[in-house]
Chain A
Amino acid sequence: MQEYKRIDITKDQIVPIAERMRKNNVYLVMIHAFINKEGQMDISWDYAVDPAVESYHVVGETTVPSIGEIYDVAATWPERELNELFNIQFEGLDTSKRLFLPEDMLETQGKGQIMVTPLSELVEKNKKEAVQ
């Protein structure tokens, strides 16, 4: 079974950790996010420090620095995805282009609609729009 280490950090440790990892040629597995049970945003940067995965968590922040300068597209694509689906702001990230969601949907409904709203509410909303 693969090991998974959870490490809680603060916002200003994100960039130094990324720089250290990049220097050692460690792969950035993914930047994940979810809203935890207390309703706070839990963002995690997962690095493949073989054979384990080291996961650095920042809880309760919706504006965090981007590590796109360090990891290039390996970081900017996940950051753009999280920006669209969760409306997390990454400082220094170019979000002028869409990644996954259609442009008209981003304009009319805004970012962060998909993953933040519960599925039952989305279904109700779509039903109402279909009736109109």
Chain B
Amino acid sequence: MSYIVPIGPYHPALEEPVHAKLYTEGEVIKEAEVFVGYNHRGIEKLATERNAIQTLVLVERVCGICSHSHALTYAMAVEAINGTEVPKRGEYIRVITAELERLHSHFLWLGIACHIIGHDSMFMHIWDERELVMDLLEKMTGNRVNYAMVTIGGARRDISDDLRREILDACDKLKGPLDRITEIALTDKTIAMRTKGVGILTREDALRLGAVGPHARASGVDIDVRRDAPYCSYGDFEFDIPVVDSGDVFARVVVRALECYESIKILRQALENLPAGPINLGNKLVKIKEGQAVARHEAPRGQLSHMVVGNNSLTNYRVSIHVPSYKNTPTVPHMLRNNTVADAGLIIASIDPCFSCLDR
């Protein structure tokens, strides 16, 4: 018997609106389609009427979880057009915020994955640890989301010496819980049974379909913008890029858990060697010079790029935002094939989708 099973746009297993159509034979999915666009807000169009500072505020609202990534990438694109040299301390503060954001995003996803798997005690445990990171971000920036830490030409707020030591202490504090979480994720039978061999994306498919970020690294593709095209002083730090070959949902759990260790490694180096000096170039409203630039940043979910065209005026001529979920969502139908309907929610969630990013 063949059925068409619709999932969404609003569904308990999905945090954001997406519509999937599953063509099934009994329990097995034979073909799948994904429909997006339920959150299209026309942010690219709105950005053409705003100046650089207003656009920073606007692009931060593209996504709630990786808001710093958007502001950072837009600022990098404008700085590339204008040829602005950012002070070293400003760059380090940007890196610290970006890595704290990656930590909280990965904790969030690991929690949600455990919730969908049915391991709710693990979900609560992980989100408890996430609060430690969220408290640090709140203390540093004043907000739990939309940090507003970036300005054109540097960082908006400084990190005091007390706060610096507090974040370093928190890095030590996180080590124990992270070890425990990784151990449970790697050895727990419930997680293994629900995730091993489910939703496989092979290395060839990942390359052909253009998957990015932890999703691609779980399929054995070794890419990371932080290492391949260094920006914001990322070249100063030593870190590894975890790559797993199996390409199933289990591999995605492992890659994200291991990436948390690397983020802590980068945080520690950045905080210990935080250079003295100014954090930005003052609060003057800048003109965007004539020209075009693309800036890329490794957001928690993968490569994020902003294209900005300037026209020697205060407003943008064109802003084009290209997010990691834009690359990862089209791979979902390939992963759904020959899996059961019961696993569909987990497979869709396994790419860490962000549909408000995707629709813009």
What is the interface of chain A, defined by CB distance below 8 A to chain B?
Answer: 1-2, 4, 6, 25, 27-30, 32, 34, 37, 44, 46, 48, 50-53, 55, 71-74, 76-78, 97-102, 114-115, 119
Q: A27 near B309 (CB under 8 angstroms)?
A: no
Query: Any chain A CB within 8 A of the CB of B359?
Result: yes
Whether the Cβ atoms of B37 and A99 lie closer than 8 Å is yes
The 7 closest A-B pairs by CB, nearest first: A74-B210, A73-B330, A51-B229, A34-B318, A50-B228, A30-B322, A100-B37
Q: Once bound together, how far apart are the Cα atoms of A32 and B296, in whole Å? A: 14
Q: For the complex, is B311 an interface residue (Cβ under 8 Å from A)?
A: yes
CB distance from B328 to the nearest CB of A (A): 10
Q: Which of B41-49, B53-61, B194-202 contacts A (4 or more CB under 8 A)?
A: B41-49
**What are 27 A-to-B residue pairs whose CB atoms are below 8 Å?**
A1-B231, A2-B76, A2-B80, A2-B294, A2-B295, A27-B212, A29-B303, A29-B322, A30-B305, A34-B309, A34-B317, A48-B228, A51-B229, A52-B229, A53-B296, A72-B210, A73-B210, A73-B331, A74-B209, A74-B327, A78-B326, A97-B35, A100-B37, A100-B359, A101-B37, A114-B42, A119-B46
Partner of B229, one of A48, A78, A101, A119: A48
Is the beta-carbon distance between B80 and A115 smaller than 8 angstroms?
Answer: no
Q: State in angstroms the CA–CA spacing of A52 and B80 once bound together.
A: 13
Q: Is the interface of A mostly helix, strand, loop or mixed?
A: mixed
B230 at the interface (CB under 8 A from A): yes
Q: Knowing A114-B42, A114-B45 are in contact, say whether A29-B37 is a contact too (CB < 8 A).
A: no
Assess whether B326 is in contact with A77, with CB atoms less than 8 Å apart. Answer: yes
- Chain B minimum-CB-distance residue to A122: B45
B326-A4 in contact (CB<8A):
no
B132 within 8 A of A: no
Cβ–Cβ < 8 Å partners of B42 in chain A: 114
With both chains docked as a complex, state the minimum distance between the C-beta of B218 and any C-beta of chain A, in angstroms: 17
Given contacts A29-B303, A30-B322, A100-B37, contact A74 B330 (CB under 8 A): yes
Q: State whether A27 and B223 are in contact (beta carbons under 8 Å apart), knowing that A34-B309, A98-B37 are contacts in the complex.
A: yes
